[in-house]
Chains A and B, each alone.
Chain A
Amino acid sequence: SQTIHQWPATLVQPVGSPLSLECTVEGTSNPNLYWYRQAAGRGLQLLFYSVGIGQISSEVPQNLSASRPQDRQFILSSKKLLLSDSGFYLCAWRNGPPYNEQFFGPGTRLTVL
């Protein structure tokens, strides 16, 4: 069966510090991978998705970047965090069509102070 891991589970970082969040998937190959953010009181915002190694699509301009160095690894980064980067970050994976349902990791709670 497939599993998805995210770490760390929680993170408190000062403004201006760098960020690296990691997501890995087990039990599947060549999945689509996704990064979402939930800010307090708001819904899900798609940040990035990837259909393969080195292929990243950005949905919104922002202070963050993503990379996919391996088939089942997806990394979310920032060089300098802003207060507005605080939120709950979720990674998800998807098998191929037709149904396109996504399966989510446990999330990382990021607080920028």
Chain B
Amino acid sequence: QVQLQQSGPGLVKPSQTLSLTCAISGDSVSNNSVVWNWIRQSPSRGLEWLGRTYYRSKWFNDYAVSVKSRITVNPDTSKNQFSLQLNSVTPEDTAVYYCAGGANWVFFVWGQGTLVTVSS
């Protein structure tokens, strides 16, 4: 059974970088049938897909247009995890952030969620 465990700070100052990690158990970040995603949820924006990383003989990344200039999603094969970095955050980035694994835009397994507040 695949499980995802998120970690990272719950408070980030404006203009700084939001960093979260998602540790995978029961599967491999290099599984060439799975895609590893970051999704956020806020009252104003609802559920919003942010980005993904996946391995298909080599690593690929895709990002939502709304955050493309500020986001990086990276795999870490040595720790079997993947990460989210979102630069130059503003209060608009305050949300619950989820990591999720899936395929073909179906999200089969989710992390527990991390509330990230952007405030000075």
Whether both chains belong to one complex is answered with no
Residues of A near any B CB (own CB < 8 A): none
